[in-house]
Structure 1
Amino acid sequence: MTITPFQIENELPWEEADQGIQRKMYGHDEQVMMVKVKFEAGAVGKLHSHPHSQVTYVESGVFDMTIGTETKRIKTGEGYYVKPHVMHRVVCIEPGVLIDVFSPFREDFFGTK
């Protein structure tokens, strides 16, 4: 995927990430990446970990976010940070959008679901 200096919302394709979850890639280089993730109510971002630092902003919706052993309900305007290799998952309570930023970029997001 070629990323240009500008990413125009209606020109970026949504891709299926999982059941009830779609994502679109925004700017990235080898050090950083931003991804917009849209959730339907009830969709689950499965428990997982990765070697990337992750910072997420809740653009809209309500989510139950688990990081390690702690779960909190988060909503529009809030966010969270996940250290590398820490298990985490999200459950969508009310439909919404998360803005994820990863460092370094997620190579695994290219060419896979």
Structure 2
Amino acid sequence: MLQGALFQMDGEIPWEDLGNGIKRQCYGYGENVMLVKVKFEAGAVGQLHEHYHTQVTYVESGIFEMTIGKEKKIIKKGDGYYVPPHEIHGCVCLEPGMLIDVFSPYREDFLPTSSI
């Protein structure tokens, strides 16, 4: 059974620098779910992409222009969104912020090779 640590302490989780003003922290996960924090600098672009995972996201801070399929909305702290599997989505960060992503199943591509 695949499982991350039972407790995740913010100061102990390394930030992965994805480049272009985006960093990621992987929190708890098991085979069916994963929680991820993504930090964006103003102007950073989460390129349009799709994946087979279901995704729900909470905007912890900042302002983003979010695209899901053919819809675009400005989202800010306290907002959230849902992305069905294989739906094209991406964002542009308008004011620095943080997104809290939940994926089902877990994103195997986000884990270090040694964790799989």
What TM-score does the superposition give when structure 1 sets the normalisation length? 0.95
Once structures 1 and 2 are overlaid, which stretch shifts more, 99-108 or 13-22? 13-22
Instruction: Name the SS of the counterpart of 1:81 in structure 2.
Output: strand
Residue 70 (structure 1) aligns with: 71
Partner of 1:46: 47
Listed as ranges, the matches of 1:1-113 within 5 Å are 3-111=4-112
| Count of aligned pairs between the two proteins | 111
* Partner SS state of residue 84, structure 1: coil
SS in 2 for 1:108: helix
**1:44-73 residue CA offsets vs partner (Å, 9 max, x unmatched):** 000000000000000000000000000000
- Which TM-score applies when normalising by structure 2? 0.92
4+ residue runs over 4 A deviation: none
What whole-Å deviation, never above 9, does each CA across 1:5-58 have from its counterpart, x for those lacking one?
100011100001231000000000010000000000000000000000000000
Distance in 2, matches of 1:18 and 1:85, equals 24
Q: Which runs of 5+ in 2 are unaligned?
A: none
Letter in 1 for 2:90: R
Structure 1, unpaired ranges of 5+:
none
Output the CA distance in 1 between the equivalents of 2:108 and 2:81.
22
